Amino acid sequence: MSLQQEIISRLGVKPAIDPDHEIRRRVDFLKEYVKNSKTTGLLIAISGGVDSAVTTGLCKKATDELSQETGLDYRTVGVLQPYGEQVDIEDSRSVAKAFGLRYTVETNILEAVNEIALEAEYALKALGIHRHLSKEGKGNVKARTRMVLQYALAFEMNLLVVGTDHASEAITGFFTKYGDGAVDITPLTSLNKRQVRMLAERLGVPQHIVTKAPTAGLWEGQTDEGELGITYDANSDYLEGKEIDPAVREKLEKQYLKTEHKRSPIPGI
């Protein structure tokens, strides 16, 4: 078995999908987990990108169906989390509007992130290291601060925190372990980026978001493809078992091997 076949098998990506079938089974997956966990719904951070938009659509469909089937109030809560001024915040709002979310809130993380960064810099200074946090380090603080806020809200409202990780991120390790600080459930697992966009089209995600350049929003100008030097088209082709440029294939497989610790369970002894 080639490394490509091994990766595809491990991540569970299909060479072709039926979007309607994938939507149905992922909505059912969410519904079953909510019922079994005795929670009252789902919380999703809406970044303005296609991954969180698709996840929002799946969550809203799941909780609407649960409410109709049980007569109870199951809800999807959308959280918008800008760092100061977010230039594409209207994209997040348009997703919430497109899916008719009744429950949305904005939690600006600017002050919290800056305080954490300052305390970290004081700690570095005490260790004899006199510098500011790197942009990558501060980007990780942003990601984890967002998760702290999500879990603070989810705990008080008895909700599950939903992640947006999928196979095209898993292969590159383009997330921190178990998401940006852990999540409770990931309904996009086993889809590549192209397939996520296929679900987006079927769910009715606004078109400008479907075609938007993916970014984690960790620093100004950051894009996934720019940071990795690998396009999502090539990434998706690889995960569908297709031949891609040998140089890109080598880079992608090196990235996969280098980031194995991000996919593996937390080790113990």
pLDDT of residue 223: 64
Q: What is the CA radius of gyration of the chain?
A: 19
Has 169 been annotated as catalytic?
A: yes
pLDDT of residue 222: 56
> What is the chain's pLDDT, residue by residue, as a tens digit (269 residues)?
899 999 999 999 999 999 999 999 999 999 999 999 999 999 999 999 999 999 999 999 999 999 999 999 999 999 999 999 988 899 999 999 999 999 999 999 999 999 999 999 999 999 999 999 998 899 889 989 999 999 999 999 999 999 999 999 999 887 655 555 579 999 999 999 999 999 999 999 999 999 887 655 555 655 666 667 789 999 999 999 999 999 999 999 999 999 898 888 888 99
Residue 179 has a pLDDT of 53
In this prediction, residue 153 carries a pLDDT of: 98
Please tell me which residue in 91, 169, 180, 184 is annotated as part of the active site: 169
User: 3-107+143-263: which CATH architecture?
Assistant: 3-Layer(aba) Sandwich (3.40)
In the set 51, 180, 224, 237, the catalytic residue is: 51
In the block, residue with structure tokens 């501060």: 138
Residue 109: phi and psi, rounded to 5, are: -95, 5
Q: Where are the domains of the chain?
A: 3-107+143-263
Judged by phi (left if over 0) then psi (alpha if -120 to 50, else beta), residue 58 lies in alpha
Residue identified by tokens 């966009």 is 197
The distance from CA 75 to its chain's CA centroid, rounded to whole angstroms, is: 20
